[in-house]
């Protein structure tokens, strides 16, 4: 995991504040759960035959010889928390963010410590919540100015349908096992559905004639999926992908993944779906559940700061004699009068020219210039840095007024 410096974090902050506004507008509240959980939680939820639990968990024995793990994802902990509080009968709309840990082979877009921002809607059966989450996802893309993306979506039916399909897939593949790629031979034994996800050519050829999920799920499920896709297809690139099964065992019902061609090999930057059985599996009462998580490092790659509405930035330039008491009162009054604007004070060193250069480099839209003369007369120069550099002389009240209404 690379270190993140202030210049890297600019995009992170834009992402975080944009998402917070969207979560608030959907009346979704934050939950925070620990980074460490008993290993058993992930074995019982994500699945002990999944790659995540099998090969990627950071697990160790604590001083009490109990196996604990760094969380590889957030949904299991959220459900554990709700079950532990005996809140399964209530409805919850929750979001979370933070680091996750998977011992994968690092490469571009794939880290051993990475971050997710996730949403979980609990207590809502299949229906409106699928529509609401896809709407939220579209809103996220629109607000972040992300245009080049594809939503792949599928329906895994209920657990019986999933099991029946799995059996049929195994009976189809077992006699043809020699044609499968080596990796997929292992998957066929440990987690057959994951064979569908294979990127290996030989396996993909074989899968062309394999049984299809759609033939095992009910008409109701199929209709629901088709209606969902039809409702959004005018607004985004969304299509059914029958090979989409997702790498975590807890899913049933609608699952989805969002990919972008701009990302290279690790092209999925959001994944999610319904997982109505997890509460039960973790010893809780029945509770409907659906959600998604965004891979922060990957979505950050897609952000183009120019496409995002950002706060205006004003450079605060003091040249000549510094009377901190007076200049910092001006800066303080300005900050209080309009909290949406960034006032960049460069801690006032250097000539006017070098400070103006700094203001341009820091992408300031305007500059406030205070020299000896201005300070004496309680005036400032207001300079537009965006176009032809118009400037005007303002007294302090006019400045405050302008800044407040910017
Ligand atoms: P996931 O698909 O395993 O789903 O992860 C979600 C996203 O996290 C991925 O689409 C990817 O962008 C990012 N991600 C995963 N592994 C790495 C890695 N090693 N490095 C960088 N980014 C990574 C889940 O975790 C589910 N809990 C999502 C969910 C929430 N389903 C329902 N509710």
Ligand 1 atom closest to Cα of 73?
25
Q: Residue 274: CB within 6 Å of ligand 1?
A: no
pLDDT above 70 as % of the chain: 99
The residue whose C-alpha atom lies closest to atom 17 belonging to ligand 1 is 110
Tokens 């599996």 sit on residue: 281
The residue whose C-alpha atom lies closest to atom 18 belonging to ligand 1 is 110
Q: Residue 315: CB within 6 Å of ligand 1?
A: no
pLDDT band at 320 (very low <50, low <70, confident <90, very high): confident
Tokens 């949406």 sit on residue: 340
pLDDT band at 110 (very low <50, low <70, confident <90, very high): very high
pLDDT band at 51 (very low <50, low <70, confident <90, very high): confident
Tell me which of 113-117, 286-290, 353-357 is least confident. 353-357
Q: Which of 95, 83, 103, 96 is nearest to 35 (CA)?
A: 96
Q: Residue 14: CB within 6 Å of ligand 1?
A: no
How, if at all, do strands 237-240 and 150-155 pair? parallel
What whole-number distance in Å separates Cα of residue 375 and Cα of residue 1? 48
Angle (deg, nearest 10), helices 324-337 and 396-404:
30
Residue 305 has pLDDT above 80, yes or no: no
Cβ burial 301-311 (10 Å sphere, 16+ → b, else e): bbbeeeeeeee
Q: Residue 251: CB within 6 Å of ligand 1?
A: no
Tell me which of 10-14, 92-96, 146-150, 220-224 is least confident. 10-14
Q: Residue 382: CB within 6 Å of ligand 1?
A: no
Residue 332 has pLDDT above 90, yes or no: yes
* Average pLDDT across the chain, whole number: 93
Residue scoring higher pLDDT (291 or 160): 291
What whole-number distance in Å separates Cα of residue 315 and Cα of residue 340? 14
What whole-number distance in Å separates Cα of residue 94 and Cα of residue 31? 6
What whole-number distance in Å separates Cα of residue 79 and Cα of residue 354? 55
pLDDT band at 319 (very low <50, low <70, confident <90, very high): confident
pLDDT band at 307 (very low <50, low <70, confident <90, very high): low
Q: Residue 269: CB within 6 Å of ligand 1?
A: yes
Cα dist from 77 to 28, 117, 269, 278, whole Å = 17, 14, 21, 11
Q: What is the pLDDT of residue 309?
A: 64
**260 beta partners:** none
Cβ burial 9-36 (10 Å sphere, 16+ → b, else e): eebeebbeebbeebbeebebeebebeee
Residue scoring higher pLDDT (374 or 240): 240
Residue 323's contacts (CB-CB under 8 Å, 6 or more residues apart) are 375
> Contact at 8 Å (CB) between 206 and 139?
no
* CA geometry: angle 129, 131, 135, nearest 5 deg: 115
CA of 152 to the centre of ligand 1 (A): 15
Q: Residue 121: CB within 6 Å of ligand 1?
A: no
What whole-number distance in Å separates Cα of residue 327 and Cα of residue 30? 40
Mean predicted confidence (pLDDT) in 248-264: 94
CA of 294 to the centre of ligand 1 (A): 6
Phi-psi region of 266 (alpha: psi -120 to 50; beta: other; left: phi over 0): beta
Ligand 1 pocket test: pick from 71, 136, 293, 294 the residue with the most ligand atoms within 8 Å of its Cβ.
Answer: 293
Q: Residue 83: CB within 6 Å of ligand 1?
A: no
The residue whose C-alpha atom lies closest to atom 4 belonging to ligand 1 is 271
- Helix ranges restricted to H, 233-312: 278-281, 296-302
Tell me which of 71-80, 250-259, 310-319 is least confident. 310-319
Ligand 1 atom closest to Cα of 104?
19
- Token pair, residue 163, equals 């099991």
Cα dist from 160 to 165, 217, 309, whole Å = 9, 9, 47
How, if at all, do strands 313-318 and 342-344 pair? parallel
Q: What is the pLDDT of residue 159?
A: 85
Ligand 1 atom closest to Cα of 76?
27
Q: How many CA atoms lie within 13 A of 116 on its CB side?
A: 26
The residue whose C-alpha atom lies closest to atom 8 belonging to ligand 1 is 295
Q: What is the sign of the dihedral through the CA atoms of 44, 49, 52 and 56?
A: positive
> Contact at 8 Å (CB) between 101 and 34?
no
Residue 248 has pLDDT above 90, yes or no: no
Q: What is the pLDDT of residue 300?
A: 96
């Amino acid at each position: 995991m690379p270190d993140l410096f202030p210049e890297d974090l600019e995009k992170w902050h834009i992402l975080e504040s944009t998402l917070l506004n969207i979560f608030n507008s959907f009346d979704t509240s934050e939950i925070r759960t620990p980074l460490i959980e008993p290993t058993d939680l992930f074995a019982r939820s994500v699945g002990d035959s999944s790659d995540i639990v099998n090969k990627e968990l950071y697990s160790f024995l604590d001083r009490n010889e109990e196996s604990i793990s760094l969380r590889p994802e957030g949904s299991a902990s959220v459900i554990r928390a709700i079950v532990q509080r005996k809140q399964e009968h209530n409805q919850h709309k929750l979001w979370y963010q933070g680091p996750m840990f998977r011992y994968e082979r690092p490469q571009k877009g794939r880290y051993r410590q990475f971050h997710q921002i996730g949403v979980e809607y609990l207590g809502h059966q299949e229906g409106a919540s699928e529509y609401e989450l896809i709407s939220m996802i579209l809103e996220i893309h629109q607000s972040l100015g992300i245009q080049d993306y594809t939503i792949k979506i599928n329906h895994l039916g209920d657990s019986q349908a999933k099991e029946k399909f799995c059996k049929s897939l195994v009976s189809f593949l077992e006699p043809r096992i020699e044609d499968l790629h080596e990796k997929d031979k292992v998957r066929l034994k440990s987690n057959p559905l994951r064979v569908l996800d294979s990127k290996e050519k030989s396996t993909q050829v074989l899968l062309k004639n394999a049984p299809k999920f759609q033939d095992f799920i009910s008409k109701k499920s199929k209709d629901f999926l088709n209606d969902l896709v039809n409702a959004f297809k005018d607004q985004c690139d969304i299509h059914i992908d029958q090979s989409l099964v997702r790498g975590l065992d807890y899913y049933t019902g609608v699952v989805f993944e969002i990919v972008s061609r701009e990302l290279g090999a690790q092209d999925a930057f959001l994944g999610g779906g319904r997982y109505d059985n997890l509460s039960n599996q973790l010893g809780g009462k029945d509770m409907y559940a659906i959600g998604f998580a965004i891979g922060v490092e990957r979505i950050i790659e897609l952000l183009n700061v120019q496409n995002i509405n950002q706060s205006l930035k004003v450079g605060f330039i003091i040249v000549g004699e510094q009377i901190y008491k007076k200049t910092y009162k001006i800066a303080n009054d300005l900050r209080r009068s309009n909290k949406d604007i960034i006032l960049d004070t460069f801690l006032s060193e250097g000539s006017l020219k070098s400070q103006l250069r700094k203001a341009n480099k820091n992408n300031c839209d305007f500059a406030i210039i205070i020299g000896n003369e201005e300070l004496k007369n309680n005036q400032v120069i207001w300079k537009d840095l965006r176009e032809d550099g118009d400037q005007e002389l303002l007294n302090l009240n006019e400045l405050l007024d302008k800044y407040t209404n910017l």
